[in-house]
């Protein structure tokens, strides 16, 4: 089911730098700062003339049936009235090429240190956040700390709850999810991140992630850096009463094979993000900016029909 949260756009939205059928798909991993990031998109969409649509899955499922995969693939690629668009939702990656769609989306995502993500999840269940502080949470009234939970081997701090980022990038295959921590899923997740995603940022460097998107998809994300730094939604969602776990707690979690797989994947994503930043951005006047076009075309044949040589340079 698609929740129709859209922004108005005028007829002049098309330009050479912004294909009218551009589709960005953000299959957001929970507790990675995704609400803060989508808040930016909702603030920018009217100004930059694109639509933002939220995918709401039944029972918050992270995988779709085969029939729903087909419907979803057709929905986002053929719903041209809503293009250009950014679709977002808590959904595992799947390969749209298998469904015969006319155009593929640009995949983006954000990942987070696995223990930090688990800590945020643990306290969110108990105290919620400042985004919707009035909601009652599932563990409301349980004041047990993360340290106490790990000592008592509680359910909410079980390393099983860390097994999410790898499956999200691995996809819908059964082996992506079971057994938790398996190496096949880890390697498949790495391959998909490297080959199927346009950009994957890290929560700890959200500002740089936003800067990269503004540099590479400027028609959609123009003004995103200023909004992130100075807008009201730059840190939209903060979990209440989140406490840093003791070193002994962290060490206990790190002994888990699930943590080791998730940590290896996070490090892979982190390293890739650093390389893309270095290749794409430069620091100018204390701001990260696009390095500019670093190539041009030459030796163009045949020459123009009017007898004049083509101008050497950039398109």
Residue corresponding to tokens 């919707």: 132
User: Catalytic residue among 83, 90, 172, 235, which?
Assistant: 90
b/e code 100-116 from CB counts within 10 Å (16+ = b):
ebeeebbbbbbbbbbbb
Q: Three-state SS for 202?
A: strand
Cα three-residue angle 280-284-286, rounded to 5 degrees: 115
- Phi first, then psi: give them for residue 42, nearest 5 degrees: -65, -30
88 is catalytic: yes
Secondary structure letter of residue 15 according to DSSP: B
Which residues, including other chains, have CB under 8 Å from residue 154's CB and lie 6 or more apart?
Answer: 144, 148
Active-site residue, 230 included: no
Dig out the tokens for 217 from the structure. 């998809």
From the CB of residue 192, how many other CB atoms can be counted at a distance below 10 Å? 20
Catalytic residue among 88, 172, 230, 235: 88
CA-based nearest residue to 120, from 203, 201, 32, 35 = 32
Q: Rounded to whole angstroms, how far apart are CA atoms 62 and 65?
A: 10
Which H helix or E strand runs over 120? helix 114-127
Q: For residues 108 and 34, what is the distance between their CA atoms, to the nearest angstrom?
A: 11
What is the 8-class DSSP label of residue 293?
-
What is the CB neighbour count within 10 angstroms for residue 45? 22
Catalytic residue numbers, as ranges: 88, 90
């Amino acid at each position: 089911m698609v929740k129709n949260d859209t922004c108005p756009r005028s007829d002049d939205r098309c330009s050479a730098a912004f294909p009218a059928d551009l589709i960005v798909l953000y299959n957001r991993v929970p507790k990675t700062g995704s609400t803060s990031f989508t808040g930016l998109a909702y603030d920018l969409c009217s100004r930059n003339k694109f639509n933002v649509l939220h995918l709401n899955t039944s029972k918050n499922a992270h995988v779709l049936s085969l029939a729903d995969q087909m419907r979803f693939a057709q929905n986002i690629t053929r719903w041209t009235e809503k293009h250009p668009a950014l679709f977002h939702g808590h959904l595992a990656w799947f390969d749209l090429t298998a469904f015969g769609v006319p155009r593929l989306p640009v995949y983006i995502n954000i990942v987070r240190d696995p223990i930090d993500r688990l800590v945020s999840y643990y306290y969110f269940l108990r105290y919620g956040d400042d985004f919707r502080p009035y909601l009652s949470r599932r563990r409301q009234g349980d004041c047990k700390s993360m340290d106490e939970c790990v000592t008592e081997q509680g359910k909410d701090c079980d390393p099983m709850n860390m097994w999410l980022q790898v499956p999200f990038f691995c996809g819908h295959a059964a082996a992506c999810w079971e057994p938790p921590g398996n190496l096949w899923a880890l390697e498949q997740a790495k391959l998909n991140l490297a080959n199927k995603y346009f950009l994957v940022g890290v929560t700890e460097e959200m500002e740089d992630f936003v800067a990269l998107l503004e540099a590479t998809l400027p028609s959609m994300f123009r003004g995103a850096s200023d909004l992130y730094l100075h807008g009201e939604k730059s840190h939209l969602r903060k979990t209440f009463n989140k406490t840093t776990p003791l070193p002994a707690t962290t060490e206990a979690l790190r002994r888990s094979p699930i943590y080791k797989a998730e940590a290896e994947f996070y490090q892979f994503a982190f390293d890739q993000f650093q390389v893309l930043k270095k290749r794409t951005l430069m620091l100018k006047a204390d701001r990260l900016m696009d390095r500019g076009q670093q190539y041009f075309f030459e030796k163009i044949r045949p020459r123009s029909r009017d007898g004049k040589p083509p101008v050497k340079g950039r398109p």
